[in-house]
Structure 1
Amino acid sequence: MSEWYEESFGEDYLVVYRHRDFGGARREVERMIGWLDLPPGAKVLDLCCGMGRHSLALSESGYEVTGVDLSEALLREARAQEGSGQVTWLRSDMRKLPLTGDFNAVVNLFTSFGYFEEDEEQIKVLREIGRMLKPGGKFIIDFLNPAHVIRHLVPHSTREDADNLIDEQRRIEDGYVKKDIILTSKADGTPRHYHERVKLYSLEQFQAMIAEAGLRLEAVHGSYDEGPYISESSTRMIFRGIKPA
């Protein structure tokens, strides 16, 4: 059987998440540039780059960018964007990358983490981030804030676009936030079913995994507004750190 992320990040993902815009990615990259403090031309790896929003913004900002994702459909969308020729696009599982570790920075954004059942599989991702970095290289991992997700979870919503009805059901179950998505074609009524699942990690659990992977955490932000992480009110957990020299 295929894993959920192999099924869900296809052409229909572009329909469900069409509202994610490139302008928002540019604003987030502006903040990340300040955090990373890299020289022009620095090598940056966007791990789980999706449709390339942040990769392209980083490239426009003067960095040498490599975007990696498992989804060929999302990489195809990324390659179709203006400026995509300046980015190196690569299809790979984030737990085992066919790259050498000469990057000045690695970013893993928009909750592209926690996809696996076993903690050790998530730690493999963190170890790969460390392997990709030069000594002294920096990382940013943008994860959800579990407390915020639990408090603001919308159990059910429906919407539509030109061609599909989109039904989304969400729940917290067995330590995961889970989403079931049904897209129904307006043309013939045919439903397509997808499932998403992200493991919920507390700040302390995430800190422990980062340390186990040999990385050093420097700060945790609660949003791209740079405020500190506050469990009860922050929308995100954005981890910023370094590979020890």
Structure 2
Amino acid sequence: MTEWYEESFGEDYLLVYKHRDIQGAVHEVQTMASWLHLPAQGRVLDLCCGMGRHSLVLSEEGYQVTGVDLSDVLLEEAKEMDQEQAVTWISGDMRQLPLPSSEFDAVLNLFTSFGYFKKDKEHIKVLQEIYRVLKPNGRFIIDFLNPAYVSQNLVPESSRISEGQRILERRKIENGYVTKDITITDVYGGEPRHYQERVKLYTLDEFKEMVEEAGLCIDQVHGSYDEDQYIPETSPRMIFVGRRPMEH
């Protein structure tokens, strides 16, 4: 059986999310750099890099960047944008990274690229892989959604037209997951295409437990990229900043 994330990150994903801009990525990267205190020309892994917006900005800021994603369609898009061929793009599963151990000064997992699987142990595998590929004292950022904010601000249904396609998005929370059902129909007729996105809603404490089980430490939790502290009821995001501890 094909998992939702094997189907959803294709050509239509580019259409649904094309409003995401580079300016936003520049602001986010600059904020992250101030949190991470990375060495100049440090090695950074953008884990689940998608179309590579953040990877490309990181590269322009002088870091040595590797972008990993499962979607060949999104990686192709990233390569097209990377005209300098400055970033190393690799196809891979985040639970089993095709990368050497202790390689990176930082690992970034952005824009809710976490919580895709059915079992907690699969998510812990991802965190263990982050631990493995980080250098001792290497830093990580995991940018996840805030469950309380999601449940208070969920828009059950929205629709728009882009490039002659009607995009209908229906959202709901059930069984500890937030799901988004996307239907895309050509305005001139034709068969609708259906996709689903599903993310497990981990609370702060649940997330911390998994991170600790993988051997990582959390140093800070931010509520957004505007530097504010995480406030459980009102912050839109839970952005974890942490590290792989030095070996004793």
CA deviations on 1:216-242 (whole Å, 9 max, x unpaired) are 110100111111111111010000001
2:81 maps to what in 1?
Answer: 81
2:36 maps to what in 1?
Answer: 36
CA deviations on 1:124-164 (whole Å, 9 max, x unpaired) are 00000000100010000000001111000000111001220
Amino acid at match of 1:196: E
Residues 123, 212 of structure 1: 8 Å contact kept: yes
2:192 maps to what in 1?
Answer: 191
Amino acid at match of 2:88: T
Classify the secondary structure of the residue corresponding to 1:86.
coil
CA deviations on 1:30-59 (whole Å, 9 max, x unpaired) are 000111111211100000000000000100
2:70 is the counterpart of 1:70 = yes
2:59 maps to what in 1?
Answer: 59
Identity %: 62
2:230 maps to what in 1?
Answer: 229
Amino acid at match of 1:137: G
2:135 maps to what in 1?
Answer: 134
Give the superposition deviation at 1:190: 1.9
Amino acid at match of 1:17: Y
Q: Which runs of 5+ in 2 are unaligned?
A: none
TM-score of the aligned structures, taking structure 2 as reference length? 0.97
CA RMSD across the alignment: 0.8
TM-score of the aligned structures, taking structure 1 as reference length? 0.98
Residues 56, 84 of structure 1: 8 Å contact kept: no
Give the superposition deviation at 1:185: 1.1
CA deviations on 1:168-224 (whole Å, 9 max, x unpaired) are 100000000001000001233320000010000000000000000000110100111
1:46 maps to what in 2?
Answer: 46
Once residues 245 and 163 of structure 2 are traced to their aligned partners in structure 1, the CA distance between those partners, rounded to angstroms, is 50
Amino acid at match of 1:152: N
| Large movers: runs of 4+ above 4 Å | none
2:146 maps to what in 1?
Answer: 145
Amino acid at match of 1:52: G
Amino acid at match of 2:235: S
Distance 1:117 1:84, change over 3 A: farther
Give the superposition deviation at 1:83: 4.2
2:26 is the counterpart of 1:26 = yes
1:104 maps to what in 2?
Answer: 105
1:209 maps to what in 2?
Answer: 210
Give the superposition deviation at 1:103: 0.4
Residues 56, 83 of structure 1: 8 Å contact kept: no
Give the superposition deviation at 1:82: 4.2
Once residues 47 and 39 of structure 2 are traced to their aligned partners in structure 1, the CA distance between those partners, rounded to angstroms, is 20
What are the equivalent positions in structure 2 for 1:114-193 lying under 5 Å apart?
114-193=115-194
More displaced 10-residue stretch of structure 1: 10-19 or 179-188? 179-188
Amino acid at match of 1:37: H
Amino acid at match of 2:243: I
